[in-house]
């Protein structure tokens, strides 16, 4: 390497030899980091408390003033909720691998995407969790050390919300702020209306229903909710969810009476996006609907909110109030249709880098 001598303008060699104990410097790679919400390491009280503390202290998730929220969180929630949530996780735990299915599926999605992108050997695919392990910071550092000068960050949320997509982006840039040699970073935008995603959802519905010996009268499209106050502040999440539901309905050729959007997983005393999934399931059963199906388009992987809350509690609610037939349509997970969506989005967002 040479620089110019300011007095003579002649090239002057500069010593660039690394210290003897410095590791080799790798470069010219492109990283793809898939990031999902997060998972506890176990179902025990300590693991659950650690996970819930990280999750519920995120200012993007709970926007209440700290002076109001923290006494409730540390005085009540973190003392009572870990045990209850731990039991819920136990009911859907992947006992074979001793981990949550969210971790199982996210790892598999990363592995399969790496295989799909083998035509670009400079690409390294990895995965992380916003809450829990492996952390975003650890994996960005690992990608940089592996020679990734550019990283595509993929928050695995089709619909944008500040409490999901934005907090992943925040954490990634926080990790970069501690790095001397930062890789260039791109973030994947929402893909709630991507044709590949819409077609994959419609296909999953048709395929699942074709395997039943009965036909649902109504299919609910259940999205995770957010407080109404977040929507009022300008969060586009509700609009993204409703557009996804409309496009899937149109792809299926159904009308609004057969395919409805609802919202689940509310927490705390605030009003959340409505109609609520659990209340809708209850009302349908009471009003005489005997056969329903529920799909969760906002989740790329089955998890506590889909397997326990919908496939478990949702079915119980329906049967308790007179319903007869209930089915949960699995998330796209690591199946071919789901992986095609992820690959399509990644290849598009990597344009100009590969």
Structure confidence by residue, pLDDT tens digits, 91-126: 999 999 999 999 999 999 999 999 999 999 999 999
Is residue 24 very low, low, confident or very high in pLDDT (cuts 50, 70, 90)? low
Residues in the chain: 354
Q: Which residues contact 16 (CB under 8 A, 6 or more apart)?
A: 1
What is the pTM for the complete model shown?
0.91
Instruction: Report phi then psi at 44, rounded to 5.
Output: -70, 165
Which two three-digit tokens encode residue 35? 């990031």
Q: Is the model's pLDDT at 9 over the cut of 60?
A: no
Distance from chain centroid for Cα 327: 23
Q: How confident is the model at residue 15, as a pLDDT?
A: 45
Q: How confident is the model at residue 21, as a pLDDT?
A: 66
Q: How confident is the model at residue 28, as a pLDDT?
A: 87
Structure confidence by residue, pLDDT tens digits, 269-315: 999 999 999 999 999 999 999 999 999 999 999 999 999 999 999 99
CA dist 91 and 318 (Å) reads 19
**3-state DSSP call for residue 136?**
helix
Mean pLDDT (the chain) is 94
How crowded is residue 264: how many other Cβ atoms within 10 Å of its Cβ?
Answer: 25
Structure confidence by residue, pLDDT tens digits, 51-63: 999 999 999 999 9
> Is 291:251 a contact under the CB 8 Å cutoff?
no
CA dist 35 and 107 (Å) reads 10
Is residue 12 very low, low, confident or very high in pLDDT (cuts 50, 70, 90)? very low
Domains 29-189+337-349 and 195-329 share a fold: yes
Structure confidence by residue, pLDDT tens digits, 195-205: 999 999 999 99
**3-state DSSP call for residue 32?**
strand
Is residue 13 very low, low, confident or very high in pLDDT (cuts 50, 70, 90)? very low
Domain ranges of the chain: 29-189+337-349, 195-329
CA dist 162 and 217 (Å) reads 34
Alpha helices in the chain (DSSP H): 45-56, 66-72, 78-91, 101-116, 136-145, 167-177, 195-210, 228-232, 237-252, 277-286, 315-320, 336-349
Is residue 66 very low, low, confident or very high in pLDDT (cuts 50, 70, 90)? very high
Least confident range from 23-32, 153-162, 341-350: namely 23-32
Q: Is the model's pLDDT at 241 over the cut of 80?
A: yes
Radius of gyration of the chain (CA): 23
Instruction: Report phi then psi at 186, rounded to 5.
Output: -115, 145
Distances from the Cα of 79 to the Cα of 25, 46, 72, 82, 85, angstroms: 47, 10, 10, 7, 11
Q: How confident is the model at residue 19, as a pLDDT?
A: 60
Domain 29-189+337-349 in CATH 3.20.20.70? The answer is no
Could you give the percent of the chain with pLDDT greater than 70?
92
Q: How confident is the model at residue 2, as a pLDDT?
A: 42
Is residue 4 very low, low, confident or very high in pLDDT (cuts 50, 70, 90)? very low
Region label for 231, one of left (φ > 0), alpha (ψ between -120 and 50) or beta (otherwise): alpha
CA dist 276 and 256 (Å) reads 17
Structure confidence by residue, pLDDT tens digits, 136-193: 999 999 999 999 999 999 999 999 999 999 999 999 999 999 999 999 999 999 999 9
Q: Work out the average pLDDT over 10-34.
A: 65
Q: Look-up: residue for tokens 């009302």? A: 283
Residues 195-329, CATH architecture: 3-Layer(aba) Sandwich (3.40)
């Amino acid at each position: 390497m040479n620089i110019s001598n300011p007095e003579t303008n002649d090239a002057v060699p500069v010593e660039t030899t690394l210290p003897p104990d410095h590791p080799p410097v790798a470069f010219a790679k492109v990283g793809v980091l898939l990031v999902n919400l997060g998972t506890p390491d176990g179902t025990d009280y300590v693991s659950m408390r650690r996970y819930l503390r990280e999750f519920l202290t995120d200012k993007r998730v709970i926007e209440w003033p700290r002076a109001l929220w923290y006494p409730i969180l540390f005085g009540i929630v973190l003392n009572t909720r870990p045990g209850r949530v731990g039991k819920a996780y136990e009911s859907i735990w992947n006992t074979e691998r001793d981990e949550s299915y969210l971790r199982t599926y996210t790892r598999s999605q990363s592995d399969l995407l790496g295989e799909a992108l083998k035509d670009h050997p400079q690409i390294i695919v990895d995965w992380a969790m916003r809450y829990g392990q492996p952390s975003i910071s650890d994996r960005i550092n690992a990608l940089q050390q592996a020679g990734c000068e550019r990283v595509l960050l993929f928050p695995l949320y089709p619909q944008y919300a500040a409490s999901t997509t934005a907090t992943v982006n925040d954490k990634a840039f926080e990790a970069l702020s501690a790095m001397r040699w930062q890789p260039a970073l791109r973030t994947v935008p929402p893909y709630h209306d991507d044709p590949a995603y819409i077609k994959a959802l419609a296909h999953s519905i048709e395929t699942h229903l074709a395997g039943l010996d009965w036909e649902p009268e109504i299919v609910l499209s259940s999205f995770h909710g957010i407080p109404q106050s977040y929507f009022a502040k300008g969060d586009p999440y509700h609009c993204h969810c409703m557009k996804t539901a409309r496009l899937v309905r149109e792809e299926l050729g159904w009308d609004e009476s057969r395919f409805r959007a609802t919202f689940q997983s509310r927490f705390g005393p605030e009003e959340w996006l409505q109609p609520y999934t659990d209340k809708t399931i209850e009302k349908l059963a009471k009003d005489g609907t005997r056969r329903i199906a529920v799909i969760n388009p906002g989740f790329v992987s089955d998890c506590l909110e889909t397997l326990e809350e919908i496939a478990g509690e949702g079915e119980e609610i329906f049967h308790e109030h007179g319903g007869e037939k209930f089915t949960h349509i699995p998330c796209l997970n690591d199946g071919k249709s789901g992986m095609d969506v992820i690959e399509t989005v990644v290849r598009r967002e990597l344009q100009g880098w590969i």
